[in-house]
Structures are given as structure tokens and as C-alpha cells.
Structure 1
Amino acid sequence: MKISIQKLNPNAIVPKPATSGSAGCDLHACITETITIQPGETVKIPTGLAIALPTNKLAAFVFARSGLGIKHNITPANCVGVIDSDYRGELIVGLQNHSTKAFTVEPNDRIAQLVIMPVEQPEFEEVSSLDETERGQGGFGSTGTK
């Protein structure tokens, strides 16, 4: 599958899989100076890139990099970013600092990962009731103790 990608900034880094088994591709900070994210703060980090997905049966998703999340408590502010097939603007990653220490993003740092996945556009049909299941209306924690 080919995804059209445009560098909006000549310093932008085009994502590529790190290994043959990589599900995602790293997105890099397209900045010229360091950006410090204070504890509890959210900062928008540009990537300098725009993409065009070839069909509305695909969407791009921005996920956290495990190293940033686990080691530094730095995650995308909206948990998972959804990039619709008809969006043509710059990919910008909102990073949130959940730690108690300031975190510095350097130019070209890997800040998130981009995953392309299939999506369906459902047609919702309003009904007066839903079919019964074993779980029923059981909510959070209803299928186990942990």
C-alpha cells in the first residue's frame, strides 16, 4: 500500500517502519529549538508532514511510543489521535506530561507512532430494543475481579 506524504517543512522526517514487523512508523518532532513540557502541561508538537490516505476505508492513528509513556510518562494528550482519510493538514501531536518532572523534546526526537488501519463507516439503525446476551448491561469490571 502506498500513502502519499508531503513535507510541509524541508526538515521533516518521512516515517518508515523500523523493522519488517513494525506495525507503526515513528513520527518525529519537526522543530528547530528544544521544547520543554512542564508537569501537567500539554504542548502541540509539529511533524512537518501531511498525508493523503487513498481511500475512506483507511484511517491513520497516532499512538504513544512505549518508551516515552513508560519511562517518562509522556503520552499523546488525546490518548489516540485519529486522522480521517479526507484530512490534508499537518500532523501535529499533542504531548502531555503526566510526570512530576519537566521533559524536553529535542529537534527530530521520535514523539509518537503512526499506524494505518482499516475502518468501516457504519450505517446506524435506531431500534426499540437490542438482542439479549450473557453479559447484558454489565459494565466496568463485570466480567472479572481485576
Structure 2
Amino acid sequence: MTRRAAIRIHRAGQSLSRYRTAPTSFDVLHYPRHVTESVDVLIIAPELPSYAHPGDAGADLRSAESLRLEPGERALVGTGVSIALPDGFAAFVVPRSGLATKHGITIVNSPGTVDAGYRGEIKVTLLNTDSREPYDIAVGDRIAQMIVMPVTRARFVPVETLPGSARGEGGFGSSGYGTQTGATR
């Protein structure tokens, strides 16, 4: 005999007051749109961000300028891209894994957040973490990825104490390193 968990669905705009307790991990919170649907993003750009492969989460952002990043140097690099996101969405600018792995190029404030109300050019603060080699960036080079996602605004509820959890206050390596679960250094 199979047991099935009861799942409650919270639709956007519904009050949580009908629940005796706050939704748990077994509850499904439903966004106004399914994450598999596309969303229209108004854009001004010399070249549109593009997805390299079907199913990719991040669309590539390209440099609008040429520059050289010396070892350990950082620079604010323009993309020429300005967007208008719909309410309830944000874009997150993250490093490209190939640039990070092969050349040590990363983003200082990753992820960079683009709020729905921002209308300026998206710029990326790149950092060359390589201690020996400079890195040249040309106009049109893919320098970052942009992930557009629905976001929920939190309603912060002041309390005297927080409910307990299996993790408790453990953090910053509390689960161990590598395969040594629970080990400390």
C-alpha cells in the first residue's frame, strides 16, 4: 500500500490565514507564472542576450567595450543592455563557468541583482583572479550570464524566538569538508 502526502496549493494573492500553520516544505507555493513559461523583457541592446543551448538558465551578456584586466585587477564593464522587467521578476548576473575555470575571471558581487524598476545599463564588475596572466576582453565577448526569475517579496514577521530545526545555528562549514561530513578544520 502506497502512502500519499496531502499537498496544499497556495495561489498568488491568497491569504495564508486559512492555514493553521505556515506552509511547510510539503506545501507547494505557486508563482503567478510557471517557471517554464517565457516572460517578455523589454530591451535596448546592440546585441540581444542569447541562450547557448536549449534549457540553459542563463543568457549570455556581451562586453560593449574592449579592455585588458591585469592580474588581480577589477573593472566595471558595460554590456550596452538596458531592460524593463515585469513586476514580480528580477534578473541575476552571474559568472560564466568557462571564464572562471579557464582564465580566473569572475564577478565581484555575484550574483548581481537587477531589480524590476532599474532602467540603466547593466554593467558587470569583473575580477581577474589569476596572479600571473592578464586577460583581454574585446567588444562582443561573452562576459557574464543573466538569469531572469520570478521573485517573492518577503513579509517579515517579528518574533521573540525562532522555531527549532535539525540544522540549528550551524553554518560556515558545519556540515564538513569534502567527504568528511561533520569534520572540522
Q: TM-score, normalised by structure 1?
A: 0.90
Greater relative contact order (CA < 8 Å, ≥ 6 in sequence) = 1
- In structure 2, what is the Cα distance between the partners aligned to 1:104 and 1:127? 52
Which stretch shows the higher mean deviation, 15-24 or 58-67?
Answer: 15-24
- In structure 1, what is the Cα distance between the partners aligned to 2:109 and 2:166? 33
Q: What are the ranges of 5 or more consecutive residues in structure 1 without an aligned counterpart?
A: none
Q: Which runs of 4+ in 1 moved over 6 A?
A: none
Q: Work out whether 1:85 is the aligned partner of 2:116.
A: yes
Tell me the equivalent position of 2:137. 105
- In structure 2, what is the Cα distance between the partners aligned to 1:145 and 1:106? 39
Q: Assess if the C-alpha contact under 8 Å between 1:62 and 1:112 holds in 2.
A: yes
SS at match of 1:71: helix
**CA displacement at 1:141 relative to structure 2:** 2.2
Of residues 141, 158, 169, the one that matches 1:126 is 158
- Please provide the CA RMSD for this pair: 1.2
SS at match of 1:48: strand
Q: Assess if the C-alpha contact under 8 Å between 1:13 and 1:30 holds in 2.
A: no
Of residues 73, 78, 102, the one that matches 1:46 is 78
**CA displacement at 1:35 relative to structure 2:** 0.4
**CA displacement at 1:145 relative to structure 2:** 4.3
- In structure 1, what is the Cα distance between the partners aligned to 2:95 and 2:52? 15
Number of aligned residue pairs: 139
Q: TM-score, normalised by structure 2?
A: 0.72
Letter in 2 for 1:28: R
Tell me the equivalent position of 1:28. 62
Tell me the equivalent position of 1:13. 47
- In structure 2, what is the Cα distance between the partners aligned to 1:20 and 1:99? 32
- In structure 2, what is the Cα distance between the partners aligned to 1:21 and 1:63? 17
Which string of whole-angstrom CA distances, capped at 9 and with x for unpartnered residues, describes residues 79-110 of structure 1? 21100010000001110010021111011100
SS at match of 1:69: helix
**Amino-acid identity (%):** 42
Highest CA radius of gyration, 1 or 2? 2
- In structure 2, what is the Cα distance between the partners aligned to 1:72 and 1:54? 35
